Amino acid sequence: MKRALKEEYLEKAKELSREEAEKILSRMRRKLARRLDENDLTPLEAVARQLQKEDDDLAEWRARWAEIQERDSKKKK
């Protein structure tokens, strides 16, 4: 199932310099890179999808970290 690409990430990708976009493209997973190579995605869409994935991953990590801190604070009491 393909996730919908949010317009805000396309806008963010458009605002990036070429160097910043290349750095983001270098962090892509193989599946996304393959879609770029097979011309399923434009480079702009690939950068936008990578930005969206990184934001989603960061939000997930923050939620897990908050749970860990909460459990830790309960143990200390």
- 51 domain-assigned: yes
* Domains of the chain: total: 1
- 1 domain-assigned: no
- 64 domain-assigned: yes
- 54 domain-assigned: yes
Least confident of 2-6, 54-58, 62-66: 2-6
pLDDT at 71: 92
Among the listed residues 72, 49, 57, the one whose alpha carbon sits nearest the alpha carbon of residue 3 = 49
Q: Residue 1: which pLDDT band, with cuts at 50, 70 and 90? A: very low
End-to-end, the C-alpha distance of the chain in Å comes to 44
Structure tokens given for 75: 């143990």
- 44 domain-assigned: yes
- 2 domain-assigned: no
- 46 domain-assigned: yes
* Structural domain containing residue 13: 7-76
pLDDT at 2: 61
What's the pLDDT tens digit per position in 7-59? 999 999 999 999 999 999 999 888 888 888 888 889 999 999 999 999 999 99
